[in-house]
Amino acid sequence: MTDTTAASIAPQPSASLPSVQATAFTVILAVSFCHGINDIMQSLLPAIYPLLKENYGLDFWQIGLLTFTFQVTASLLQPIIGMITDKRPMPYSLPYGMASSLIGLIVLAYAGHYALLLVGASLIGIGSAIFHPESSRIARFASGGRFGLAQSLFQVGGNFGQSMGPLLAAFIVVPFGQTSISWFAVGSLIGIIVLSRVGGWYSRMRAAQGSRKAASFVSPFPRKKVMGALAVLTLLVLTKNAYIASLSSYYTFYSIHKFGLSVQMSQVMLFLFLGASALGILLGGPFGDRYGQKAMIWFSIVGVLPFTLALPYANFEWTMVLTVLIGLILSSAFSNIVVFAQELVPGRVGTIAGIFFGFAFGMGGIAAAVLGVVADMKGIDFVFQVCSYLPLLGLLTVFLPNMKEARKAQAIAS
């Protein structure tokens, strides 16, 4: 990266070529749909933790290690894949990523011992690592300049998939047993077909625009300021995903412990959080396009603090309400963080997507492992009390530069 320029191809329609704008929503929704399938497979893993804990006699640290294996596998590979595909886009790699997750599901369904559970979790992580950077690039390519909206539509598919995982686990996997996880391979096969067609579209569009001169973008800030802003955004992602890890990995155990719920009802509680998160993702991007990414980051991360602080002390009814509010507000940050970072480093869409999606997975995995150890030592209630303070790190948003003013200054200078 230099202080001044980075190249990126901006899709522009012509009379002789299919319009990117005309096909944008079809492509974005197709990628979002596959994101949903990908994340259903991902979310099945934490959703069946109570079942696995009983079937294999696992401790909390072993549950944390499963999350760690899956998410760190994804986090280590995603930035590497993003950097590679920035130089050489590989849209046809997407079906192979989905196939890796499919195999991981089958391994989880028929695992004979704990080590195979770790293998299945790592295969799902590899599939996720391949999927996210390239699919995020395709969503941005098809956005027609509405980057926040495209990123939100892309991500809401993933959040919808995450929210469906606990319900599918509650009403399919719990009644029919661990082997029923393999039934979801049908969805993976559909995803492979859709992603093959999306890859074909992207390849055709790139080939059609290959003779055009790539648009050159100027970084709005000097290198030192860009690196500082990226460091702040990274810490904000850490805050967000460490808190989300506490809920996605241990909320079922927390609700069973505190309120005496059944496993199925605890899955419904987790669905409330993940469903609200999906809605927050959907709303966050368009609001970021309108009011600015920095404003939405302020709102989503700092605004959630009163609710996270209240959650450990709430009764059952208020726990459900607070869970929805936390998911709705906190999740609206991530699409804006990704778009903000992509504008800081133009032309590095895959690298930024890989770093931030990968970092999100990695930090969530590390947090899950650490929180599992803490839960074994201090109890699950203590974990939720400590995590309630994590959004305080959102105050670091004050150090982010003003992107709107930088754009205006760039426009005047040019």
pLDDT in tens, 2-13: 333 333 333 333
Domain of residue 67, CATH code: 1.20.1250.20
Q: How many domains does the chain have?
A: 1
Does 210 have pLDDT greater than 70? no
Q: What angle do CA 278, 279, 285 make, to 5 degrees?
A: 95
Tell me what percent of the residues of the chain surpass a pLDDT of 90: 15
Instruction: Report yes or no on 91 lying in a domain.
Output: yes
Which pLDDT value is given to residue 10? 37
Instruction: Report yes or no on 171 lying in a domain.
Output: yes
Does 194 have pLDDT greater than 50? yes
> How far is it, in rounded angstroms, from Cα 360 to Cα 71?
8
Q: 203: burial class by Cβ within 10 Å (0-12, 13-18, 19+)?
A: middle
Per DSSP, what are the bridge partners of residue 216?
7
Dihedral over alpha carbons 108, 35, 268, 386 (to 10 degrees): 90
> Over the stretch 160-177, which tens digit does the pLDDT of each residue have?
887 787 778 878 888 888
Q: Name the more confident of 5 and 268.
A: 268
Which pLDDT value is given to residue 119? 94
Least confident piece of the model among 218-227, 371-380, 384-393: 218-227
Instruction: Report yes or no on 130 lying in a domain.
Output: yes
Task: For 15, list phi and psi in degrees, rounded to 5.
Answer: -65, -30
What is the rounded average pLDDT of the residues 371-385? 87
Instruction: Report yes or no on 307 lying in a domain.
Output: yes
Q: Name the more confident of 345 and 26.
A: 26
Does 259 have pLDDT greater than 70? yes
Confidence of residue 67 (pLDDT cuts 50, 70, 90): confident
Instruction: Report yes or no on 102 lying in a domain.
Output: yes
Domain of 147? 20-208+217-413
Mean pLDDT over the full length of the chain: 80
- Secondary structure class of 181 (helix, strand, coil): helix
Top-confidence range, 180-194, 371-385, 387-401: 180-194
Q: Name the more confident of 27 and 411.
A: 27
> How far is it, in rounded angstroms, from Cα 245 to Cα 248?
5
Q: 183: burial class by Cβ within 10 Å (0-12, 13-18, 19+)?
A: middle
What is the rounded average pLDDT of the residues 32-49? 86
Least confident piece of the model among 107-111, 140-144, 180-184, 345-349: 345-349
Does 284 have pLDDT greater than 80? yes
What is the rounded average pLDDT of the residues 396-407? 76
Instruction: Report yes or no on 114 lying in a domain.
Output: yes
Confidence of residue 326 (pLDDT cuts 50, 70, 90): very high
> Over the stretch 285-312, which tens digit does the pLDDT of each residue have?
888 888 888 888 888 877 899 999 999 9
Query: What does the DSSP 8-state code read for residue 171?
Result: I
Instruction: Report yes or no on 122 lying in a domain.
Output: yes
Which pLDDT value is given to residue 332? 86
CA distances from residue 306 to 192, 293, 303, 326 in whole angstroms, order as listed? 42, 22, 7, 9
Contact 117, 52 (CB under 8 A): yes
Which pLDDT value is given to residue 17? 37
Instruction: Report yes or no on 381 lying in a domain.
Output: yes
